[in-house]
Amino acid sequence: MPAGLTRAQARLWWQKWAWYERNARPLHRARIHYELARRESFARWPIHGEVLEMLREDRLQLGPQVQFEPNVWLTGPPPARIVIGGGTFLNMGVMVAAVNLVEIGRHCMFANGAFVTDGNHRFDDPEKPVPWQGFTTKGPTRIGDNVWCGANVVVTSGVTIGERSVIGANSVVTTDIPPFSIAAGAPARVIKTITYAEHPSGGLPSDAPVGG
């Protein structure tokens, strides 16, 4: 049986707890809510990742009325940026991970468990443990306005999804998706183009709000 907890072990455990659970600490939590309120956005608790740091450094940029459901995870070490347009909704367990830049447009919806990233985890060094190898990126990942991603969708590095597209549940997006597309599969493929017969100019009546 292992011996009792040493002082060094206890210190290390406390340091890790203080870092990984910092968002749950009352003052840190209050600061996150304050920064979100300044941007007219809202999170149902808990929210994970470097949220406060990114907000204060203007690396997490939010439009008004962005909504985060519980267990959303937003992460990006400096100088990574995440940009989320107004009115966008991230449901439970959605994760956005940036190495350089992830952009999400206005009025998008992400169902439970979706994952959006511009990064790829390295595994090419046979001498170094995989978790220590860091990340590469193929370029920014961009999602246009009014995109709907179903449950457990994965959007990979360097991909652009055009406006008003729908990505089916459990799909893995590895290449660009044109605007007004319905795509599904792993890898995702366009299976239908969205058309608006009554509004051939783009599907919006003339009095509709932009991005609405």
> Given CA atoms 187, 133, 24, 50 in this order, what sign does their dihedral have?
negative
The Cβ-side half-sphere exposure at 110, using a 13 Å CA radius, reads: 33
Residue of 33, 48, 107, 121 marked active site:
121
Residue 48 known to be catalytic: no
**Which two structure tokens, joined as six digits, stand for 164?**
């008003």
CB 211 within 8 A of CB 196: no
Residue 119: closest CA among 143, 94, 138, 104: 138
Q: How many residues does the chain have?
A: 212
Catalytic residues, by residue number, are 121
